[in-house]
Amino acid sequence: MATRTQNRSSNRTSSRSGASRSTGDKSRSESRSSNSRSAFSWGDNAGPLIGAALAGVVIGVAANFGRKAIMQGMEASAGEWDEILATEHEMALAIFDKMLATDESQTFKRKMLLMKLTHALDKHAHQEEMVVYPALREAGILVEADQLEAEHGEVKTFLYRLQQMGPDAPNWLETVREFRAAVSQHAHMEEEQVFPNFKKDLNEEQDARITSLVNRDGFWMT
């Protein structure tokens, strides 16, 4: 027969064992809960984090569209399509002049100006090649349209040459000067010959349509 002392000892052992099992169960439960939140889990703060990220994207997109709208709005205020393109010619030639005013020690400035010129000419070429030159061809002005578009290929060749030679190359200024002369001649042909001859046969609706398309394509390239 078990004594009272033995009974008390047994009860205490049982109690400690139960407590140990309870603690172990709790630890395993917490471990499973912790493991369920892996390294790839956002955790309890997922909502605010994702919301902040999405807000940043929305703000960035809105700012970009705002910048596009401002830039294209400034060009659109220049008037009709031929006036817009003439303004872009002037802006490109102004960048050339800034490039020609640099020396070989100003490599960073030359790089930045070349990037700016590349963007300006790419945008301008896109507007002409997607809107104006097709309209010229529809009007039967085929030879001039083909010649002008071929000259855009020469523009890309000049840009490639400048990008490859580096801003401190000895012949950098000479190449920029030659490039500027080619763009100036191209612009003169458009502004003084091709565009006026084409525009005089357009009615008001056709003229407005081309202006709208030039502005639209310019917006997406800004």
The tokens describing 143, both together, are: 């030879």
Task: Note whether 207 and 81 are within 8 A (CB).
Answer: yes
Confidence (pLDDT) at 218: 86
Confidence (pLDDT) at 9: 47
Task: Note whether 96 and 179 are within 8 A (CB).
Answer: yes
Confidence (pLDDT) at 36: 46
- How many degrees, rounded to 5, is the angle at CA 50 between CA 44 and CA 53? 145
* Ordered structural domains, the chain, with CATH: 67-221 (1.20.120.520)
Q: Calculate the alpha carbon distances from 198 to 123, 186, 211 in Å.
A: 22, 16, 14
The tokens describing 188, both together, are: 């003169």
Confidence (pLDDT) at 78: 60
pTM, full prediction: 0.67
Confidence (pLDDT) at 50: 55
In 170-179, which positions are buried (b, 16+ CB within 10 angstroms) versus exposed (e)? eebbeebeeb
| Long-range own/partner contacts, residues 115-118 (CB < 8 A, 24 or more apart) | 117/92, 117/159, 118/159
pLDDT in tens, 37-82: 443 344 555 555 555 545 554 454 444 444 444 444 544 456 999 9
Which stretches of the chain drop beneath a pLDDT of 70? 1-78, 221-222
